[in-house]
Structure 1
Amino acid sequence: MALSFHVRSNSFPSRQHPQATHVDEQLSRLRSSKETTTASSSSICQRLSNLQDLHDSLDKMLRLSITQQTLSQEQIEMILDGSIKILDLCNVSKDGLSQMKESLKEIESILRRKRGDLSAEIKKYLASRKSLKKSFQKVLKNLKTGHNKNKESLAVFGEAEAVTVSLFECMFTFMSGTKSCGKWSLVSKIMSQNKAACEDAENEFTRVDLECQSEKSLKIEDVQNLNSCIEDLEDGIELLSKSLIKYRVSILNI
């Protein structure tokens, strides 16, 4: 797709600015990775990194005088609203991951020391998981309601928002562990309807969920792997959040 701005004047130069070309290339890579890459913790972290780079590039584009001259006030406000929505998604993700990590810390300690009330900690962990899935259910419903609303007029900025939201939809599905969602069938149904939903394959989250159903099968190695996965996701989301904040400041400065 050739990158373009929908502008108020027909005097915008036909030749693309190099920064605009760079953003278009990044979007193409993100679209391609979404369509061809099987969801895994490593692929999601890579896409988070790519989104960080994309928003850094969008931030540079917004600083260009030609960009500021061609965006209408309505478009600027829509871009600003989109940035708030994505930051909210980052915060929901970080809060959920932080709760899970805290619960897993106690479970790992008991498994390592071989003493303590493992059953009680597993119950706390599963309760945390249930709360997390409910939060994701609410977020996904809101995303479905507002999807693609007036985004066609925003060209590259609207597409960047859509690609970013798509990743969070996939990440929420991945973190929910679709194979262990029997008690939360509504969440599974919503997620399975999403075109960007991850495959129903066992991952770090699903594996520990399943093992928690049978306390004796819970392995410390799987708990540690899940902790490592959570930390990687937290790092990726935190870096993306920082890029989004810079991007948002540039929007406010126009």
Structure 2
Amino acid sequence: MVSIHTSRCPSHARSNSLPCGVHPLGMNIEEQLNRIKSSEATSTSLASQKLGILKDVFDCVEDWLKLSLSQQALSNEHRKSSVEKLLDGSLELLDVCGNAKDAFSQTKECIKELESVLWRRKGGDCCLAKEVEAYVSTRKKLMKIISKYLVNLKKMERKNSLNKDSNTEASLSMLRQVEEISFSVFASLLCFLSQSSANLKPRGWSLVLKLLSSNPVACEGEEDTNEMATLDSELLSLKSGKASSLQVSNILKRSDALESSLQEVEEDLECVFRRLVKMRVSLLNIVNH
């Protein structure tokens, strides 16, 4: 699977004589965030690209937080309330990232179970109605969980947006932007898993879409299809009637590739989670210094 790995921040860019807006690290962070904004995760390869960029963003933020100028700006007593809000936001990001990782892990296991069944039924024509129904049942349960994750995520975004203060200090502004983009990336990943046939949408899904209507990430659209939606569609077409050996083989190939892709995204999310922990620890150290 194609994955773009962006370059790490230049280690020599540690001058603390420049304000955040024009410091090489700050400029690098802004550039990477703009790259994320300009892409949409409608496939696992693009999802990995976004996560790859996000990992680099957090690496840059970690280096930036080591600058004495950054530490002075964030430890200023007048900005204590704003920094505490960032700390609250970092905790919420950890929760959302963990939920996204769990969702990918559970979806991957669902597909592995499907593959196990299909391998046993691979030879000759066969009826897969029971197997497809079992997969559909599990997917519906997962979609219900994902819908809850998306609703909670949107509530966090709105709360953080309302809690913004009028402080336009560059350091705080940049960290808030990192937070907002991170929420957006996690939302796009959950939306990726939720793209499927209407037959798999849980009750109240239309309300979820309405809640997410202001989000730049589309969770549903006739023109937007991805590996999850394609696999679901192919399986549903086999719900009635017999499936040929060739059909089963094609589905196995598709599901195997998807499983590997989901595994890679899951691992990327684990890397992002660890970087979020490091960023939160760094912020805590600055505040408590």
- Structure 2 partner of 1:125: 135
Q: Are 1:163 and 2:184 an aligned pair?
A: no
Distance 1:15 1:174 in 2: 33
Distance 1:42 1:250 in 2: 31
Q: Are 1:90 and 2:111 an aligned pair?
A: no
If you compute each CA radius of gyration, which structure gives the higher value, 1 or 2?
Answer: 2
Q: Provide the alpha-carbon RMSD of the alignment.
A: 2.8
Alpha-carbon spacing, 1:231–1:117, altered in 2? closer, same or farther (3 Å): farther
Asked if the contact 1:173/1:197 (under 8 Å) is kept, the reply is: yes
Q: Are 1:242 and 2:255 an aligned pair?
A: no
Alpha-carbon spacing, 1:182–1:13, altered in 2? closer, same or farther (3 Å): closer
Q: Are 1:110 and 2:123 an aligned pair?
A: no
What SS does the corresponding residue of 1:196 show, helix, strand or coil?
coil
What SS does the corresponding residue of 1:190 show, helix, strand or coil?
helix
Displacement after TM superposition at 1:162 (Å): 0.9
Residues 181-222 of structure 1: CA distance to partner in whole angstroms, max 9, x if unpaired?
564363255336232225632211112222332343652112
Alpha-carbon spacing, 1:118–1:102, altered in 2? closer, same or farther (3 Å): farther
Q: How many correspondences in the alignment?
A: 240
Residues 12-57 of structure 1: CA distance to partner in whole angstroms, max 9, x if unpaired?
9597332222222222222233xxx562211111011100100111
Displacement after TM superposition at 1:75 (Å): 2.2
Asked if the contact 1:52/1:243 (under 8 Å) is kept, the reply is: yes
Distance 1:99 1:13 in 2: 44
Instruction: Write out aligned runs for 1:73-222 (5 A).
Output: 73-114=80-121, 121-146=131-156, 147=158, 148-151=161-164, 153=167, 154-180=172-198, 183-184=201-202, 186-188=204-206, 190-191=208-209, 193=213, 194-198=215-219, 200=221, 201-213=224-236, 214-215=238-239, 216=243, 219-222=251-254
Identity within the alignment, % = 35
Distance 2:101 2:173 in 1: 29
Distance 1:15 1:210 in 2: 48
Asked if the contact 1:39/1:199 (under 8 Å) is kept, the reply is: no
Asked if the contact 1:178/1:206 (under 8 Å) is kept, the reply is: yes
Alpha-carbon spacing, 1:96–1:28, altered in 2? closer, same or farther (3 Å): closer
When the two structures are superposed, what TM-score results if normalisation uses the length of structure 1? Answer: 0.82
Gaps of 5+ in 1: 1-11
Distance 1:14 1:135 in 2: 40
Asked if the contact 2:41/2:189 (under 8 Å) is kept, the reply is: no
Distance 2:21 2:233 in 1: 55
Gaps of 5+ in 2: 1-17
Displacement after TM superposition at 1:117 (Å): 10
Mean Cα displacement is larger for which, 209-218 or 155-164? 209-218
- Structure 1 partner of 2:43: 40
Alpha-carbon spacing, 1:118–1:98, altered in 2? closer, same or farther (3 Å): farther
Greater helix fraction, Structure 1 or Structure 2: 1
